[in-house]
Structure 1
Amino acid sequence: MASTSPRRAWQQPDPAFWQGKRVLLTGHTGFKGSWLALWLCELGARVTGFALAPDTEPSLFDQLGLAGRLDHHVGDLRDPAALSELVAAVQPEVVLHLAAQPLVRRSYAEPVLTWETNVLGTIHLIEALRPLAQPCAAVLITTDKVYRNNEWLYGYRENDPLGGHDPYSSSKAAAELAISSWRASYCGTLPHQSPHLRLASARAGNVIGGGDWAADRIIPDTVRSLRAGEPITLRNPGATRPWQHVLEPLGGYLALAEALAEPAGGAAMAEAFNFGPQLEANRPVQELVEQALHHWPGTWIDASDPTAPHEAGLLNLVVDKAHHRLGWSPRWDFATTTARTLQWYRRVIEAGDDPVSCCLDDLTAYLASLPPGRSTP
């Protein structure tokens, strides 16, 4: 049963909390992971990263020079021995688990790898954390696609049924079940449990932002087409998604980690939380691309294929729980999110601006949209 503890007030990440904190960040070489690694380093955390090597060229990880700013380890979640060895060496106080096989279309081609990475990889990490002898707050990232999608207009809440049509979505739903099971079974004060470990999961909407170079994602595909002077091909222009800037859910993850780590009351935050955009940002792919074309002119074509593998057509999130329990709420609207994303790419690609400066400019602007400190409800 969900806790009914009173609303917290989280405004910006607390530098006093993060300064010198031992943080294990998995997936730090990916798009979201690189943004989060940069933010954590700016906060003064002692970040250890565990992930596969970057799999795009360019990669935001390399563009930001992150290998020189944190303790960088290349490894695979499917290797439990490597995870256990690293956790034992680092003794993390906070874990932010972003590593995954995150692409729906790739999951159709490699379903076993997807399930092994997303489900067994998450279990391997939790098992590596269980022997810790000091408090550890672990925020484990899944996706908005964990819900059994009824293609309805209503947003999904954290207590709605889990499901998943494609291998990616179903593997993330299974990871949520595993997290819940391990939390119920192994976190507590009984002889077979750990009193030091707290597990929460975070389900975010579709994130966009500068520095994503992956294949089969709408913004990188759009940028590649615009850069080449070619029409953007949309395989599912009518599909609606909750679009949000990458900094929005990352701020939610930091808020959840801070709350989860509190000695008094933090255990009540060991639950699942949605992090999605404002309601007006639930838009079809076509509208996202047309908004992007305001900032980088071009054209698009409908490349819908009725024989293509299934992808969700309509998906929304309800984020009331994060608002009432964490004080978190989305700050940037759809227009701002799209503008800052396309401006990042144009600055880097056309003006030759430093990606680090572009990311820090976005981070500064995002923090400026938040109240400047923590307040009492």
Structure 2
Amino acid sequence: MARILLTGANGFVGKVLQRRLLKSNHEVVGTVASPPASAELECDYQVMNICDRAQVEAVIQRVKPTHLVHLAAVSNVAVSFKQPLLTWHANVIGTLNLMEELKAHAPECFTLFVSSSEVYGESFKSGQLLDENATCVPMNPYAASKLAAEHAVMQYLRQGMPGVVVRPFNHIGPGQSADFVTASFARQIAWIEAGLQPPVLKVGNLDASRDFLNVHDVCEAYAMLLDANRDQLEHRMYNIASGKSRQIRSVLQALLAEATVPIIVQTDPDRLRPSDIPLAAGANARIKEAVGWVPTTPLAQTVRDILDYWRGQALLEPPD
């Protein structure tokens, strides 16, 4: 049994991951920026601002983790353009604070640093599945800060601290913010079904293709990497990817197939952001070889779960 410190435990992925780790009987201590509602966390938690070095030191000393999963970050691309200083400070300095305190107080702690497929950026323009050796050319402050944080973590790994960096591709599921495309579609469908919105679903660019994953499959990959023997992990960098792409249009069609009322799809100029990257998908041979991970959840099940989540939300709150 591991003693796992999970930053960002109250986020979309954090909530799913804590349940997955507790299922394996690990001891999990989550960190949150502010005290959560009592029902939101199933694990023990500590209030910690990763940008506050003293708070980080206190938590590391108190928990003495055997493993760290670092999810906490400014992860919204739009926010990263509006608040670049906040993004860089949280994503880079926050990560450095954690690594410095681990080095000082828990140097044998295994770090799983969660980066992002966004770091590949312009390399996706090749139209090929990208593996971990592809050149990283970030196209936004979020991606650039994540790449910088990767380099920072790698310096500690080169000094002998154990750990890996993962680059997950687009993961979706219940509880994700409606700022993200699949959740936005599902929320609108749920609101239409509930009579809270006219039967018109507004969309942006549907032609782009992305490597979509169920959040539970992504968390399974993290858990398998944490449970792996150190000699299984020949590499320090792993894509979390399905190895194939889907048009955003096909995800919308899968959601519409679950709708209970007729819906008109309408392009909204305000949402139309012609993509510089028509296709973004990753190769997963490395993680498959290391720990045997492959995604297993069908898209139909994923979209059904997302839509059911938003149907529940429609009963609780009015539309914006």
Same fold (TM over 0.5): yes
Higher relative contact order structure (alpha carbons within 8 Å, sequence separation ≥ 6) = 1
Go from structure 1 to structure 2 and tell me whether the alpha carbon gap of 1:309 and 1:115 turns closer, same or farther (over 3 Å shift): farther
User: Which runs of no fewer than 5 residues in structure 1 stay unpaired?
Assistant: 1-17, 55-60, 188-196, 353-377
Alpha-carbon RMSD: 2.5
Contact 1:48–1:71 under 8 Å retained in 2: yes
Matched, 1:74 2:47: yes
Aligned-partner residue type, residue 197 of structure 2: G
Matches within 5 A, 1:143-292: 143-150=116-123, 151-184=125-158, 186-187=159-160, 197-212=161-176, 214-226=177-189, 227=191, 228-230=196-198, 231-259=200-228, 262=229, 265=231, 268-269=233-234, 271-279=236-244, 282-292=245-255
Deviates more, 1:114-123 or 1:221-230: 221-230
Contact 2:178–2:187 under 8 Å retained in 1: no
Q: Which residue of 2 aligns with 1:362?
A: none
Shift in Å, 1:93: 0.8
Deviates more, 1:109-118 or 1:39-48: 39-48
> How many equivalent residue pairs?
307
Contact 1:48–1:73 under 8 Å retained in 2: yes
User: Which runs of no fewer than 5 residues in structure 2 stay unpaired?
Assistant: none
Contact 1:199–1:270 under 8 Å retained in 2: no
Matched, 1:90 2:82: no
Aligned-partner residue type, residue 25 of structure 1: L
Aligned-partner residue type, residue 122 of structure 1: T
Go from structure 1 to structure 2 and tell me whether the alpha carbon gap of 1:323 and 1:337 turns closer, same or farther (over 3 Å shift): same
Contact 1:235–1:302 under 8 Å retained in 2: yes
Distance 2:268 2:155 in 1: 42
Matches within 5 A, 1:1-377: 18=1, 21-53=2-34, 62=37, 65-67=39-41, 69-133=42-106, 135-150=108-123, 151-184=125-158, 186-187=159-160, 197-212=161-176, 214-226=177-189, 227=191, 228-230=196-198, 231-259=200-228, 262=229, 265=231, 268-269=233-234, 271-279=236-244, 282-296=245-259, 297=261, 298-304=263-269, 312-346=277-311, 348-349=312-313
Shift in Å, 1:278: 4.8
Shift in Å, 1:33: 0.5
Go from structure 1 to structure 2 and tell me whether the alpha carbon gap of 1:120 and 1:236 turns closer, same or farther (over 3 Å shift): farther
TM-score using structure 2 length? 0.87
